A = this chain, B = another copy of it.
Amino acid sequence: MRKRTTLKDVAQEAGVTAATVSYVINNTPGQSIRPETRKRVLQAARRLNYMPNAHARTLRSRNVPCVGVVLRRNLSVPRFSQMAFGIQTRLEEDGYNVLLLGNRTDALGHADYASAYLAGRVGGIIFIGIENEGPDAESLKVLSDESAPLVVFDCQQQADTYSTVDLDYSGGARLITSRVLERGCRRVVYLRPRIDTAQERLREQGVRDMCETSGAELLVREAPVDLHNIDVWDERYTVGNTEDGLKLSEELMETARGVLEEARDGDAVITSWATWTHFFRKVAPERRLVYAELANNGENWLAADFYTRLPNYETGIACAEEILSLMRGNAPSARIIKLTNVIEPRLEPRQH
């Protein structure tokens, strides 16, 4: 960044002092400027491509037009990119930009998002987590000591120094299950990952509740996805189909075969994750089961009979609104986002 045109340059060009330029540029309330002066200043500014230096401004005004976003997974995963986009969209409405932050520990032992806040690079932080790993205790302490505006998503944590946003996993599961049962299925296979988090417990509980209420039989089966290989699964979005990824896919296919052997036509298969339905279709395109998905992110949307589309974009907006609220000085809050967005792809091969 080489020397650029400053307030003083503009002042000189317009034949006024720096303060006057500042008043004009900022439309400072309570300062009356002669229209003719204002015009001269504005013209000079435009002629010189003047733009106030953001750092000098922030240094003076203590106003940071920037929010840090930390993704516990990564941007290439649709669920996360959709949330990030929601956040970006909403924040830009209010003149804030998103600074992408990593989730690594820097030389000084702080997570880099904590550092970014301490360094004044961001006025607040949105942490998009997964339940089993929210912000670390150390960072949380630093941030709360500084009373940093912080929104934590999807971590199912208690908190009074920061805001939380979570999804209503059990409600969503109940909803989908009830739709399945409405179709007359009397037997449900629920395929869940081998992950023991609050989210997965809530989901299973939701499915179970509805089945019990209506007297349907429930079989719970596990897919070979756990905390060790979950990153392998996501590699598909970056480096592509790795050997490990293919191996995992083959295991999933094997799981699908197993489930299909137990299932009778007319039964329902509810999968916890969206992409799994595909394996069933691939293994047995001819079988007539009812497929439902708890968490679809807009991909493979023709595969299942119906599914809950996770409102990622809208949730991003909710997180953004929460951080804006905190930055305005409001007290932290806890929100639960309802999962009501049930989709039944209407496209069917037309009969000729």
Q: Which residues does A use to contact B, with CB under 8 Å?
A: 1-4, 46, 49-56, 58-59, 62-64, 66, 74-76, 78, 80-82, 84-86, 88, 92, 97-102, 104, 108, 110, 115-116, 118-121, 123, 142, 145-147, 236-241, 246, 249-250, 253, 257, 278-279, 282-285, 298-302, 309, 313, 341, 343, 345-347, 349-350
Question: In the bound complex, how far is the Cα of B75 from the Cα of A246, in angstroms?
Answer: 27
Q: Across the interface, do B97 and A98 meet the contact criterion of CB distance under 8 Å?
A: no
Q: B residues within 8 A CB of A115?
A: 51
The CA-CA distance from A102 to B64 in the complex, in Å, is 18
Q: A346 to chain B: which residues have CB within 8 Å?
A: 246
* Residue of A50, A147, A246, A301 with highest tally of chain B CB at under 10 A: A301
Bound state CA distance, A50 and B146, in angstroms? 11
Taking a contact as CB atoms closer than 8 A, the residue among B3, B99, B298 that contacts A236 in the complex is: B298
Q: Given that A63-B1, A250-B347, A313-B239 are known contacts, is A78 also in contact with B81, CB under 8 Å in the complex?
A: yes
Interface centre among A75, A285, A343 (most CB of B within 10 A): A75
Give min CB distance, A341 to chain B, whole Å.
7
Closest B residue to A310 by CB, please name it.
Answer: B240
Could you tell me the distance between the alpha carbons of A195 and B283 in the complex, rounded to whole angstroms?
36
Chain B residues with Cβ under 8 A from A62's Cβ? 1-3
Contact between A298 and B240, CB atoms less than 8 A apart: yes
Q: For the complex, give the distance between the alpha carbons of A145 and B147 in Å.
A: 42
- Across the interface, A1 reaches (CB within 8 A) one of B84, B99, B123, B237, namely B123
Q: A59-B53, A285-B285 are in contact. Are A75 and B88 (CB under 8 A)?
A: yes
Please provide the 4 A-B residue pairs with the shortest distance between their CB atoms, ordered closest to farther.
A81-B81, A51-B118, A75-B85, A55-B55
Docked CA distance A299–B274 (Å) = 12
Known contacts A298-B236, A347-B249; is A54 also within 8 Å of B1 by CB? no
Given contacts A1-B62, A52-B119, A283-B349, 9 further A-B contacts (CB under 8 A): A51-B119, A53-B119, A54-B116, A59-B59, A76-B313, A86-B238, A240-B343, A250-B347, A278-B302
Query: Which residues of B are found within 8 Å of A52, using beta-carbon distances?
Result: 119
**How far, in angstroms, from A241 to B309 measured CA to CA in the complex?**
9
Of A66, A76, A108, A302, which is in contact with the most chain B CB atoms at under 10 Å from its CB? A76
Asked if A121 meets B54 with Cβ closer than 8 Å, knowing A238-B86, A343-B240, the reply is yes
For A120, the chain B residues whose CB sits under 8 A away are: 1, 4, 53-55
12 residue pairs bridging A and B, Cβ less than 8 Å apart: A2-B62, A51-B110, A54-B119, A54-B120, A54-B121, A85-B238, A88-B100, A97-B116, A240-B298, A240-B343, A241-B301, A246-B347
Report if A299-B302 is in contact (Cβ < 8 Å); known contacts: A88-B75, A97-B99, A238-B313: no
Query: When chains A and B are docked, how far (Å) is the Cα of A3 from the Cα of B147?
Result: 11
A218 to B64 CA separation, bound complex (whole angstroms)? 58
Q: How far is B283's CA from A104's CA once the two chains are assembled, in angstroms?
A: 47
- Whole-angstrom distance between the alpha carbons of A116 and B50 in the complex? 12
> Closest Cβ of chain B: how far from A242's Cβ, in Å?
11
Task: Provide the bound-state CA to CA distance between A114 and B40, in Å.
Answer: 23
Write out the residue numbers on chain B whose beta carbons fall within 8 Å of the beta carbon of A100: 84, 88, 97-100
- A297's closest neighbor in chain B, by CB? B237
* A299 in complex: contacting residue of B50, B59, B285, B299, CB < 8 Å: B299
